[in-house]
Amino acid sequence: MKETIISCESLLHFTEDVLAKCLPKREAHLIAETLVDADMRGIFSHGVQRLSGYLKRMEEGLMERETNVVTVSDSYTTAVLDAHNGWGQVASIKAMEIAIQKAKEYGTGFVGVRNSNHNGTATYYTALAAEQGHIGIAMTNASPIMVPFGAKEPSLGPNPISIAIPTGEGKMPIILDMSTSNVARGKIMVAKKNNTPIPEGWAITKEGYPTTDPQEAWEGYVLPLGPKGSGLAIIVDILSGILTGSLFGKQIPRQYDDPYPQQVGHLFGAIQVGNFIDPKDFYEKVERKVQETITSEPMEGFDRVYMPGEREQIQKKRSMKEGIPISNNVFEELRATGENYGIDLNEYVSVSN
């Protein structure tokens, strides 16, 4: 597949400049940072290829141009925020920052967000907590494009969950970030844009049949990560949707198909390690856990054993040095999006392949 390599800094500036044409500059920067961070980690399903879809919903009046986050309830260790149909990333960063502050003061903090929109990768938010020495938790519900295990009618989103574990100052945190589906629907979007088939087991058609055609999969439904993924998706839907006062299950409009605000919910948590165990002791034991994992003898066909999120963090370091590969189809889509807002993508490209 042909691609263009763009430096992280250039891609960030382009994305921010496009968003700043219609959003407050601070919000444009936050959203651009979350999108490019996903691409830097190699999570292209949640990177800048989402930009045109976000802006389309905003232009159609399905998302607000400015995110007005209001506190609905607040206690020592909990809070609920209303995003008022603003940008999910902006509301999510604020929610995690509040959760972290509560954890610093009271040991734990959990903050729910209602009436929100797609908020990118959960990794971004849990990493914020881990960087400050807290265990971070993030989850969100999503459009019902996934069937429960054994069903052919959708009532769940892929409903991802992330947990980040700090490992000590200057060290990479351990970050689990998993979709409850076999695959993030964004990967099907990427395959559709690049006209490439998808693996078996990712999705079914709207009639309930297996498919490797990305267009049929896009019109159909993704499959859960077995019965455990299905069960976890249901729990995340309850915690993110019902508990926060947001829509849930079949009520949520499909992000790219239904002309209604999504009104999804998110839940964020931060836990202060020192309220449970001496941090020094914690970090020493976590390091032992890391070593016993990564030094395990690998099975045939594997080069080594990795910790959760390690590959993505390695890729992020590589991206910072070598740039981010953008497929030609996504590049052309970004170019067209930029032109719509008077921004020339070619002026930001530093290296091409």
Active-site positions read 118
Strand-pair partners of 81: 71, 113
Integer Cα distance of 279 and 192 in angstroms:
46
Report helix, strand or coil for 154: coil
Q: In what order do the strands lie in the sheet with 210-211?
A: 210-211, 203-204, 221-222
Integer Cα distance of 164 and 132 in angstroms:
11
Query: Which residues, including other chains, have CB under 8 Å from residue 120's CB and lie 6 or more apart?
Result: 34, 35, 38, 46, 50, 88, 89, 92
Alpha-helical regions (H) of the chain: 8-20, 25-40, 51-59, 88-106, 122-131, 185-194, 214-219, 226-237, 279-294, 310-322, 328-340
